[in-house]
Structure 1
């Protein structure tokens, strides 16, 4: 398995639009096991995305999906940059 945890930084007031774009664009991504979008509880301009993929290649392939490319285009005007990014190797999942 291949995992990613990444922080996206948004414009003030733009977080909701980015969350909506990410959620819409993440539907039906082959090889994706988990795609969790979370608002930072302390920073109103930060979003955390946690992803688990069957393989790293599945993640790379997702970036070429029309739905993902459209989500990136929709979110881009509201993004100010990336924060922390971590690659992980998931070993267990508990719960839904």
Structure 2
């Protein structure tokens, strides 16, 4: 079943666009690892927050992706720019009105 990871990343003031640039950098390894969708967003009412929505083939595929060199490098690059405030939810997708 499809696995969803929806979260927020708190960023240090003035670094939102830097984190967005890291997270939106082209990475074909994600699709190869089972990522179906990876969307990054912002809301000007929350200038120190980055929103991320991920859909994966499975929770296992998501966990395994965290071992990819490209993902580990992106995490290491972003960590100094984060405030440490993180939130979100993970769940198994059970259906969609957009799919048959």
Q: TM-score, normalised by structure 1?
A: 0.88
Q: Secondary structure at 1:76's aligned position in 2?
A: helix
Name which one, 1 or 2, has greater alpha-carbon Rg: 2
Tell me the C-alpha RMSD between the 2 structures.
1.9
Alpha-carbon spacing, 1:93–1:11, altered in 2? closer, same or farther (3 Å) = farther
Q: TM-score, normalised by structure 2?
A: 0.85
Alignment of 1:52-91 (within 5 A): 52-90=55-93, 91=95
Distance 2:44 2:4 in 1: 22
Gaps of 5+ in 1: none
Gaps of 5+ in 2: none
Distance 1:36 1:46 in 2: 14
Number of residues of Structure 1 aligned to a counterpart in Structure 2: 95
Match among 26, 32, 35 for residue 38 of structure 2: 35
